[in-house]
Amino acid sequence: MFGLFKKDPKAQLDREYKALLEKAMQRQRNGDIRGYSELMEQAEAKRKALEAL
């Protein structure tokens, strides 16, 4: 009954993953390749966590 109000951790990770990809794309467009690669590493970690669920 109380599980009804809990947030889905998979949905939260998916939103964070997509936000990181969007930020990485913006950094790449602005020419910040180092920032892009850092954000892509973080996004890959989120993707692996998402697949583990």
Structure tokens, 12: 């939260």
* pLDDT score at 44: 96
* pLDDT score at 34: 97
* pLDDT score at 6: 78
* pLDDT score at 7: 81
- Residue 48's nearest CA partner among 23, 26, 25, 17 is 17
Amino acid at 18: K
H and E: helices and strands count for the chain:
2, 0
Query: 6-38 pLDDT, tens per residue?
Result: 788 899 999 999 999 999 999 999 999 999 999
Residue 1 reports pLDDT greater than 80: no
